[in-house]
Amino acid sequence: MNRELRRVSIVVLAMFAALFLSTTVIQVAQADALRLDSRNTRALYDSYDTERGPILAGGTVIAQSVPTGDQYAFQRQYPQGELYAPVTGYFNPTQGSAGIERYMNDYLSGTSNSQFLDTINRIIAGQAPKGAAVEVTIDPVVQQVAFDALGDRQGGVVAIEPSTGRILAMVSTPTYDPNVLASHDSQAVIDEYKALQADDLKPLSNRATSGDMNPPGSSFKIIVAAAALASGKYTADSEFPNPVSLQLPGSSSEVFNWTRAACGPGETVTLREALRQSCNVPMAELAIQLGDDAIREQAEKFGFNSEVSVPFPAGKSIYPSGLDDAKTGLTGFGQYEVRTTPLQMAMTSAAIGNDGELMAPTLVDRVTGRNLEVLSSFEPEVMAETLDEESCVELTQMMVNSVSDGQSNGARIEGVDVAGKTGTAQNGTDEPYSLWFTGFAPAENPEVAVAVVVENDGNLGHHSSGNIVAAPIAKKVIEAVLNK
């Protein structure tokens, strides 16, 4: 009997071994995968229980979680409302998220790898779960000025610190109130979201970094000029024929200057003068001489045709490829299929102002844990070497002329050299213009690079221009930075 009993004991042992194994497989080997299963509501409820970290801009709270009695435990609030919507985005426990809320979620929700030890400490200390605080690079004063300056116009503003890439302002109008989308009333949120999507003014798109992008118009001339200087074949004093109009090669269309006249009295016109007066004909001639490849190469150094994360992905600005001479000529003053964003144009100005060194733009300054320990801090990072220093100085001088006594004088500030360039881009016959300004100041040692776009003629009709509408907005933003 004992022999049989021994065998049965072994069977019992094997049965328990199977249980030890099966529990280990589920609780250790497969645990991570099971936690990620979309049907696993436990992970979801856990995320509700975590007090999401706040988002701060220079001491101003722009997103925070406050306790509620409902099953989600916390309600996300945006005390500044729509002012920071393009930066923070929104967070909804059931309906998704956007912006910093989405792309810094690991830190905000306390699940990033760098918070693992903190989680262990928390469990030992018996503290409630809490996410890390994200401090953004936005300067609240500059942000407010930019927002107020845009007013009820459709458009976007980006201001960057050229030496670091820190984004000081990011505004898009019209926009939405993130508080509405953060509501725990799912149906109300879905309805509101649908209404925002259906709105013709597209309040959900971030005009500062993406959205339906605009042609840059004459503001693109600085990139064509940069390509010319970089080639070594041109200087600010290089001369171009100065006709009233230019018949584009192999095409019936003609290019005119915005004045419908020649660019000054001479038979020829210099690059400097073309930029100062924002003449299209010489720029088209230059573009054709350079060829689309050279312009594209220069544009891509500034960031065109590639995506940049701030940390949410910004729209990819476009310089098209495979252009014939006629189309290349049109891109010489930022028309045809060239499309860009204020972020891209601000990056371009920032690079020129920073001796050709393009710093990677970012919104995130610092991430701090619950005990204010720094989990991650921003380090300036060179994104590209765009242009040699000598060319930068030459181009800056041309941009300064353009503002001081040229077609971009709407951004002139007493006692400060502002370098800049306006643009008044056509979107097709009878379509409203997109109005631009991009530049930096002070020209010698810039503290801020800025780009402004205003869509729909700035609500003024076809008599508006970048210099009338966009340049004054940029001026206010620059002043806000310099007056600090």
Partner 1 sequence: MTNTTNPTAATVKPSFAPDTGVLRTMRKLHLPQKLRNRELALLLFACAINSVAILLVQLGATGAIDLNLLYLGAGLSVLVIGLHICLRYVAPRADPLLLPIATVLNGLGIAMIYRIDLAKSLSGWAAASTRQITWSAVAILAAIVVILVIRNYRVLFRYTYVFGALAFVLLLLPLVPGLGREVSGARVWISLGGFGSFQPGEIAKIALAVFFAGYLVRTRDSLSMVGKKFLGVRFPRLRDLGPILVVWALSMLIIVFQHDMGTALLYFGLFTVMLYIATGRLSWILIGFGLFGTGAFFAAQTLTYVQGRFQNWLDAFSPAVYDATGGSYQLVQGIFGLAQGGLIGTGLGQGRPQLTPLSQSDYIIASLGEELGLAGLFAILGLYLLFVSRGLRIGFAGQDDFGKLFAIGLAFTVALQVFIMVGGVTRVIPLTGLTTPFLAAGGSSLVANWIIVALLLRVSDSVKTGPASEVSA
> Is residue 39 close enough to count as binding partner 1 by CB under 8 A?
yes
Q: In angstroms, rounded to a whole number, what is the distance separating the alpha carbons of residues 180 and 105?
A: 19
> Is residue 94 close enough to count as binding partner 1 by CB under 8 A?
no
> Is residue 35 close enough to count as binding partner 1 by CB under 8 A?
yes
Q: Which helix (H) or strand (E) holds 221?
A: helix 221-231
Q: In angstroms, rounded to a whole number, what is the distance separating the alpha carbons of residues 165 and 144?
A: 20
Contact 175, 203 (CB under 8 A): yes
Q: In angstroms, rounded to a whole number, what is the distance separating the alpha carbons of residues 425 and 140?
A: 30
DSSP notation for 393-455: HHHHHHHHHHHHHSTTGGG-BTTB--EEEEEEE--STTSPPEEEEEEEESSSS-SEEEEEEE-
| Minimum distance, C-beta of residue 34 to partner 1, in the bound complex (Å) | 4
User: Considering only 14-22, 50-58, 366-374, 466-474, which stretch makes contact with partner 1 by CB under 8 A?
Assistant: 14-22
> Would you say 7 or 484 has its CB closer to partner 1?
7
Q: Radius of gyration of the chain from Cα atoms?
A: 28
| Minimum distance, C-beta of residue 22 to partner 1, in the bound complex (Å) | 4
| Minimum distance, C-beta of residue 475 to partner 1, in the bound complex (Å) | 57
Q: Which helix (H) or strand (E) holds 35?
A: helix 31-36
Q: In angstroms, rounded to a whole number, what is the distance separating the alpha carbons of residues 412 and 471?
A: 9
> Would you say 111 or 238 has its CB closer to partner 1?
111
Q: In angstroms, rounded to a whole number, what is the distance separating the alpha carbons of residues 474 and 449?
A: 9
> Residues 427-466 vs partner 1: string with x where CB under 8 A?
----------------------------------------
> Is residue 71 close enough to count as binding partner 1 by CB under 8 A?
no
> Is residue 31 close enough to count as binding partner 1 by CB under 8 A?
yes
| Minimum distance, C-beta of residue 54 to partner 1, in the bound complex (Å) | 25
Instruction: Write the Ramachandran bin of 234: left for phi over 0, alpha for psi from -120 to 50, otherwise beta.
Output: beta
What is the footprint of partner 1 within residues 122-141 (CB under 8 A)?
A: 123
Strand partners, 130: 51
Residue from 12, 117, 195, 374 binding partner 1 (CB under 8 A): 12
User: Considering only 27-35, 315-323, 350-358, 438-446, which stretch makes contact with partner 1 by CB under 8 A?
Assistant: 27-35
> Is residue 117 close enough to count as binding partner 1 by CB under 8 A?
no
> Is residue 41 close enough to count as binding partner 1 by CB under 8 A?
yes
| Minimum distance, C-beta of residue 4 to partner 1, in the bound complex (Å) | 4
Question: Catalytic residue among 109, 112, 218, 278, which?
Answer: 218
> Would you say 43 or 382 has its CB closer to partner 1?
43
Tell me the pairing of strands 55-57 and 133-136.
parallel
User: Considering only 41-49, 156-164, 303-311, 363-371, which stretch makes contact with partner 1 by CB under 8 A?
Assistant: 41-49
User: Binding residues for partner 1, how many (CB under 8 A)?
Assistant: 34
User: Considering only 24-32, 98-106, 225-233, 262-270, which stretch makes contact with partner 1 by CB under 8 A?
Assistant: 24-32
DSSP notation for 116-160: HHHHHHHHHHTPPPBPPEEEES--HHHHHHHHHHHTTSSEEEEEE
| Minimum distance, C-beta of residue 41 to partner 1, in the bound complex (Å) | 6
The DSSP code for 174 is S
User: Considering only 33-41, 165-173, 202-210, 402-410, which stretch makes contact with partner 1 by CB under 8 A?
Assistant: 33-41
Q: Tell me, yes or no, if 22 is annotated catalytic.
A: no
Q: What distance, in Å, lies between the first and last C-alpha atoms of the chain? A: 94
Nearest alpha-carbon partner for 90 in 208, 209, 207, 204 = 204
> Would you say 8 or 374 has its CB closer to partner 1?
8
> Would you say 72 or 437 has its CB closer to partner 1?
72
Task: Give the burial class of 116: count Cβ atoms within 10 A of its Cβ; 0-12 exposed, 13-18 middle, 19 or more buried.
Answer: exposed
Dihedral sign (CA 299, 302, 308, 314): negative
User: Considering only 13-21, 154-162, 335-343, 403-411, which stretch makes contact with partner 1 by CB under 8 A?
Assistant: 13-21
> Is residue 260 close enough to count as binding partner 1 by CB under 8 A?
no
What is the footprint of partner 1 within residues 214-243 (CB under 8 A)?
A: none
> Is residue 45 close enough to count as binding partner 1 by CB under 8 A?
yes
Instruction: Kindly list the catalytic residues.
Output: 218
Binding site for partner 1 (CB under 8 A): 1-5, 8-9, 12-13, 15-16, 18-20, 22-28, 30-31, 34-35, 37, 39-43, 45-46, 123
